Structure 1
Amino acid sequence: MLEAFKKHIENSFPELLDTHFIIACSGGLDSSVLVELCHQANLRFSIAHCNFRLRGTASDGDEAFIRDYAKKIEKEFFVTHFDTLGYVNQHKVSVQMAARELRYAWFEQLLKENNSSYLLTAHHANDNLETFLINLSRGTGIDGLTGIPAKINNIRRPLLPFTREELEFFAQVEKMDWREDASNADAKYLRNKIRLEIIPKLNKLHPTFSDNFKNTLDYLQQTETIASAYLFKLKEELFIDKRGRFEIEIAKLKELHPLSIYLHGLFSAYGFKEMDNLEALLDGLSGKQLSSSTHVLVKNRDVLILSSNVESKSDTQEYLITEEEVPLNLPLNLKFSLVPERQDNSDTVIFVQKNRLKYPLTVRKWKTGDFFYPIGLNRKKKLAKFFKNEKVDILSKEETWLLCSEGQIVWVIGMRADHRFKVDDTTQDILKIEFT
């Protein structure tokens, strides 16, 4: 197995050959074998262990075992202790989820502190099968059936081609010791139930089930690669970048069949999983929106607007600008300068009469009831009506800031200045205000 492992590293993980990395080790069979294989392959690494304090003396025994092992093979050893149950009670998550969140947050911190590029985990072929069956039982698309990724961000999983039986055979040949976690035999956990009860039955039904599953996973991954390439090309055509947001024509989306499958492929990566809600949004009223944990999707007339979550317009904080200086903590960049002559206003630059301004000026979000006198119109207009006429979408409205003088709007920043402050032929002190 060592030669197969070394060849696999050379072919699939060459980045591990000439850099230092960290191995997450629980002390169980899988991670202990991963440490031993990397050690025998003469790779440069340290060992990290999480003590979740869930199994009393057994947890401390795991820590002592790995500490001794690291000392024996002369590898740096990192360990941390968690109040896992306290985290569970505070965040209202399962023990398994708490352990996952705690350990990966620590691993990320550890990589930064030790200038290490990669974290290795000991997921293997059996874990792939269990994950496949779990996702299948819950309902998933092809992305949930392609197995655990071998590489994602700074995580590497070099044992995925190897079965647990192969790992155990290697450990026995090398006369290795490892720790057994008694909770792995508890069938109340879904993953354990699949491992202990379902997979053995599948192997009995077909003697070559494990090999057949590997082949199936390869085919699914190849299909997913083709599908992803097509969706990427489709996104380039449909998703029009508008200042960091995407606009998608609804009519073009509706040309795709079957619609729900395309919607899943295009929007699931942004956290939108309920296709019924997405389809309903296409025919909903303008202004209707869906939110995920990371993004907002808004219908604006004949387009959908996709944006990362933005600060709500309910933010009532106001920022003051004195005549002497512009503070550094403004939510946007403004520059004030006196100039000898005026030029035409634009979205990002306006020219005003300095003596009309009353300091301190205020920068704030717009609110219902605001009005101003837009240049070019020269009469009072409610800001809400102005936004409607200018076809400003709901997300842009929420991000709109105003520059005000004694409550009067000087500038709807990035859009339109107010007529009451505009420069005329008699103006002597011309103030240029730039927004970047």
Structure 2
Amino acid sequence: MNKFASLLAERSVQKHLETYFGTHPSLICGVSGGVDSMVLLHLLHRAGAQVTVVHVNYQKRGEDSELDQQLVEEICRLYKVECVSVRFDASDSTGNFQAWAREKRYGVFRDLKREFRADAIVTAHHRDDQVETIYQRLMRGSGMEHWGGMQVYEQGLFRPLLELGKEDIQMVAEQNGILYRTDVSNLDVAYGRNFIRLSLEPELDRFFPGWKSNLLGLGQRAREFEAMRDLLLDSIAGKGISGKGISGKGIAEEGVVGEGSKLSLSALVPLPRTLWALLLSSWIRSISGVTVRHGVMGELSSIDSLQTGQQISIGMGFSLMRDRDWLVLLRNESPSEEMKGAKEQTVKQTVEQTAKQSADLWVLEKEHVSSGLHTSTGLRFCLKTWSKRFKSEDFHRGELVMDEASLVFPLTLRHWQDGDRIQPLGMEHTRLVSDLLTDRKVSAAEKKRAWVLISFDQTVCAVIFPHVLSDGSLGVIANPVRCTIGTRSVLIASRASFGAGANPINPNKHL
């Protein structure tokens, strides 16, 4: 980028804003005080975006951390934008500090996005970050579909600087006199990204000139791969599904997922076996939204060895069954007698084990929450069918909304226990429920009154706070049970006061 760096950067950011949001979007912008995020704030301000700045102070670098916060707050006052500064104690982290800090940071971002009803969370990731992301994915053995790296906009995250390099950003800062701070921890090669940037990249530059461009080019290869995969999948689906391809109308049988849920094995068999797992997992994800676990991929490669009536458990309440020449994707809503017996035994054991510690245990069967059910805890559960495209804004803030298809009934409602873990919405990793409650400022005295909702497969589906918090939130749902655009039935948890017709449930009663 040349002396017109600022103009080109402004046009790039403006283009992305208009493409994804139109004019004057509301954004939650993470600003650390470093050059990347300070340039990002400058460009968003120039573009006229409505920005709420979030600065997270981990108090890890003493006075330097305080000076970072001071600079961000002063620039926000100058720009007349709201700044929310949040403090965490770095000494509370265990294990990987970077992962802990990221989890804390994005937790704050998501909470504020909901509170302000913002359009997106904005981060200052740039082209050099993209290179490091793709390199790390390659080293971890990620499949080709992940070689594309980060996208400018995906899943509520907006990265308008992704097409700019670090040198471009530095030049914008110099040309506009943008103040920023330098974090000396970025020089610590103990962190993976720093090691790549400081130790590995210079050697790669020496031995393989142009390697960064080649690595970024893998994104195009990944898109080509995805296009070929989808064409092949559409061809198979068009031959083997009732209706018009994968998006056509499927068969309407009890337990069958719905559109495009039945695939002819004879359409798959002529293809190389090495492609079976890839195509079947893509087909399953396109219909159910479920990502097939790595351990299941091997079973999909030998799907023809299944006998009629046998199933492969996909997870998240789905299974793939062979029915003669058909592969049928099922929701496990009508369990076999054997499964029912196993459920009853597990429920009985769970009740007996938990009852020894506490009387506060409820086992909720699907048929009893279908029309709405109160518990004596003041919590209400009900199922709701959703015929149009799911939108979170269609529900109240004080409700927890979960994809019913991702739940395995019966559900267990109990007080949380030491060691309980949840994968919070939007997070890649699990965390202790106790830490989650601490982060949400639930007092030590009230913590013990918080609840967890547990699926039959022992997944913690939700953490329910002992009371509605000041921001109006009732709790936190787990990422695996999140609703998607394909969600058609939801389980809603809410607070309810008892009135006429209320039907409180007795503890330890199996409903």
TM range (shorter): 0.5 to 0.7
The verdict on how the C-alpha distance between 1:217 and 1:12 changes in structure 2, with shifts beyond 3 A counting, is farther
The alpha-carbon deviation at position 308 of structure 1 amounts to 6.3
How many residues align? The count is: 324
TM-score, scaled to structure 2:
0.55
Per the TM alignment, residue 105 of structure 1 is displaced from its structure 2 partner at its CA by: 2.6
Shift of the alpha carbon at 1:177?
A: 2.6
Distance 2:121 2:46 in 1: 18
Q: 1:282-361 counterparts in 2 under 5 A?
A: 282-284=304-306, 286-292=309-315, 294=316, 296-302=318-324, 303-306=326-329, 313=340, 314=343, 317=363, 328-329=372-373
Q: How does 1:65-80 map to 2 (within 5 A)?
A: 65-80=71-86
Over 3 Å counting, the alpha-carbon distance change for 1:54 and 1:271 in structure 2 is: farther
- Distance in 2, Cα, partners of 1:25 & 1:252: 52
- Structure 2 partner of 1:144: 146
**Which residue in the other structure is 1:105 paired with?**
107
Matched, 1:19 2:25: yes
What is the match of residue 37 of structure 2?
31
2:33 equivalent to 1:3: no
> Which one-letter code corresponds to 2:55 in the other structure?
H
Task: For residue 141 of structure 1, report the CA deviation from its aligned partner.
Answer: 2.0
Residue in structure 1 matched with residue 87 of structure 2 by the alignment: 81
* Displacement after TM superposition at 1:73 (Å): 1.9
Deviates more, 1:107-116 or 1:7-16: 7-16
Q: How does 1:90-129 map to 2 (within 5 A)?
A: 94-129=96-131
User: Which among 163, 167, 170 is matched to residue 169 of structure 2?
Assistant: 167
How far apart are 1:164 and its partner, in Å?
A: 0.6
Q: Which residue does 2:198 correspond to in 1?
A: 196
1:277 aligns with 2:294: no
Closer/same/farther in 2, CA of residues 198 and 106 from structure 1, 3 Å limit: same
Q: Which runs of 5 or more residues in structure 2 are unaligned? A: 348-362, 374-380, 385-408, 411-511
Give the match for residue 256 of structure 1.
Answer: 271
The alpha-carbon distance between structure 1 residues 57 and 278, as it changes in their structure 2 partners (threshold 3 A), is farther
Output aligned runs, 1:397-436, within 5 Å.
Answer: none
Deviates more, 1:181-190 or 1:296-305: 296-305
Distance 1:5 1:254, change over 3 A: same
Report the 3-state secondary structure (helix = DSSP H, G, I; strand = E; otherwise coil) of the residue aligned with 2:7.
helix
Aligned CA distance change for structure 1 residues 265 and 76 (closer, same or farther; 3 Å): same
Question: Secondary structure of 1:27's partner?
Answer: coil
Residues in 2 aligned to 1:255 and 1:59: alpha-carbon distance in whole angstroms: 61
Q: CA deviation at 1:251?
A: 3.8
Q: What amino acid does structure 2 have at the position aligned with 1:127?
A: D
Question: More deviation in 124-133 or 279-288?
Answer: 279-288
Structure 1: distance between partners of 2:141 and 2:208: 24
Match of 1:153 in 2: 155
CA contact (8 A) 1:125 1:164 kept: yes
State whether residues 58 and 90 of structure 2, in contact with CA within 8 Å, keep that contact through their aligned partners in structure 1.
yes
Cα distance, 1:300 vs. partner? 4.2
> In the alignment, is residue 244 of structure 1 matched against residue 257 of structure 2?
yes
Deviation at 1:198, TM superposition (A): 2.0
Query: For 1:196 and 1:309, how far apart are their aligned partners in 2?
Result: 50
Deviations 1:71-123 (A, max 9, x none): 1222110122335664x55xxx7333333333223212211211211221111
In 1, Cα distance between equivalents of 2:81 and 2:314: 47
- CA deviations 1:414-433 (Å, max 9, x no partner) are xxxxxxxxxxxxxxxxxxxx
Query: Is this contact kept in 1: 2:321–2:329, CA < 8 A?
Result: no
Instruction: Show the counterpart of 2:497.
Output: none
Distance 2:179 2:383 in 1: 60
Q: Distance in 2 between matches of 1:244 and 1:260?
A: 20
Q: CA deviation at 1:306?
A: 3.5
User: Is the Cα contact below 8 Å between 2:137 and 2:146 reproduced in 1?
Assistant: yes
Aligned position for 1:64: 70
Distance in 1 (alpha carbons) for counterparts of 2:192 and 2:174? 28
Say if 2:145 and 2:226, in contact at 8 Å, map to a contact too: no
SS in 2 for 1:146: coil
Q: Which residue of 2 aligns with 1:219?
A: 220
Residue 22 of structure 1 deviates from its aligned partner by: 2.0
Distance 1:230 1:172, change over 3 A: same
- 1:290-333 superposed Cα distances (whole Å, 9 cap, x missing partner): 344x45333344444435687985265478x9xxxx97429779
Measured in 1, the distance between the counterparts of 2:50 and 2:197 equals 33
Counterpart for residue 486 of structure 2: none
Aligned AA (2:220): Y
Q: Deviations over 1:396-422 (max 9, x none)?
A: xxxxxxxxxxxxxxxxxxxxxxxxxxx
Counterpart of 1:25 in structure 2: which amino acid? V
CA contact (8 A) 1:53 1:81 kept: yes
Q: Give 1:244 shift.
A: 3.3
- Three-state SS of the structure 2 residue aligned to 1:177 is coil
Question: Structure 1 unaligned runs (5+)?
Answer: 334-363, 366-436
Closer, same or farther in 2 for the Cα pair 1:39/1:190, shift >3 Å?
same
> What does the per-residue CA deviation read over 1:352-377, in whole Å, with 9 as the maximum and x for residues that have no partner?
xxxxxxxxxxxx98xxxxxxxxxxxx
1:17-57, Cα deviation, whole Å (9 max, x unpaired): 32222211121121111111222333332211222344444
Residue 152 of structure 1 deviates from its aligned partner by: 0.6
Structure 2 Cα separation of the partners of residues 54 and 232 of structure 1? 50
Counterpart secondary structure, 1:13: helix
